């Protein structure tokens, strides 16, 4: 069996995933170009029921107030270290499938990486609500993509089916958080493990 390509699981929700994205593309672009980019998100109720019926349980741990305050402090510190501007988003009615399923459409249209950049910027630098389909439509306009397809991805049965495949992939890979990097049998969890993943990928033939 052929060895799978190195890959990383990212989430637009996670500030640590945003940090990993910036490090990967700003500092380790050669590795970013050699790995598969796979989305991770919390499914909505309909998707969660379907996954449960197939025996798939994805790990979601409720966050305490203390952990939230720590992450807020920690992410601000990491952003300063990287010279990044940070606007902490307010998630009033989070629907993570809106942005992550739109990513699958953008990837199909050949603009996945560009879409990721715009969504991360919208959420973490501009404080926009990426659960709003209209935000996806505006990003589509900026990228010259079909705004209606991006805005409606979360309600498109074909895209939702691809989303289920993506969620099953992270289950099969044993992903329990983001950012999560895999090279062969080696797994690396967290932005601080990115250098180890980079070294592993660079050590294999291009």
Residue whose pair of structure tokens reads 């799978």 in the numeric block: 4
Reduced to 3 states, what is the DSSP secondary structure of residue 126?
coil
The question of whether 17 is a catalytic residue gets the answer no
| The pLDDT of residue 2 is above 70 | no
Hey, which residues does 9 pair with through a beta bridge? 38, 180
Between vectors from CA 192 to CA 42 and to CA 139, what angle results, nearest 5°?
45
* CATH superfamily of the domain spanning 7-203: Glutaredoxin (3.40.30.10)
Q: pLDDT-derived band of residue 43, with 50, 70 and 90 as boundaries?
A: confident
Max intra-chain CA distance, the chain: 46
Q: pLDDT-derived band of residue 64, with 50, 70 and 90 as boundaries?
A: confident
Q: Active-site residue among 14, 17, 99, 131?
A: 14
- Rounded CA Rg of the chain: 17
Structure tokens at 110: 């050949």
Hey, which residues does 180 pair with through a beta bridge? 9, 189
Segment 65-116, tens digit of pLDDT? 888 889 989 999 999 999 999 999 988 899 999 999 999 999 999 999 999 9
- DSSP-derived secondary structure for 155-185: G-HHHHHHHHHHHHHHHHTT--SSSEEEETT
| The pLDDT of residue 52 is above 70 | yes
Segment 5-24, tens digit of pLDDT? 999 999 999 999 999 999 99
Structure tokens at 138: 């505006």
Q: 44, 163 in Cβ contact below 8 A?
A: no
């Amino acid at each position: 069996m052929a060895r799978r390509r190195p890959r990383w699981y990212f989430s637009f929700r996670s500030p640590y995933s945003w940090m990993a994205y910036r490090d990967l593309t700003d500092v380790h672009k050669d590795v970013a170009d050699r790995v598969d980019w796979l989305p991770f998100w919390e499914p909505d109720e309909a998707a969660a029921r379907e996954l449960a019926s197939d025996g798939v349980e994805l790990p979601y741990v409720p966050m305490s107030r203390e952990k939230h305050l720590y992450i807020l402090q920690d992410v601000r510190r990491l952003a300063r270290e990287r010279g990044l501007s940070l606007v902490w988003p307010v998630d009033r009615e989070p629907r993570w499938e809106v942005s992550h399923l739109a990513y699958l459409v953008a990837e199909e249209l050949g603009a996945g990486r560009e879409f990721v950049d715009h969504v991360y910027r919208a959420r973490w630098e501009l404080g926009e609500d990426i659960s709003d389909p209209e935000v996806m439509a505006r990003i589509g306009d900026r990228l010259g993509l079909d705004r209606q397809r991006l805005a409606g991805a979360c309600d498109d049965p074909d895209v939702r089916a691809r989303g289920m495949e993506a969620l099953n992939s992270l289950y099969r890979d044993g992903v329990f958080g983001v950012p999560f990097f895999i090279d062969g049998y080696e797994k690396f969890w967290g932005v601080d493990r990115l250098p180890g993943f980079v070294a592993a990928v660079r050590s294999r033939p291009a």
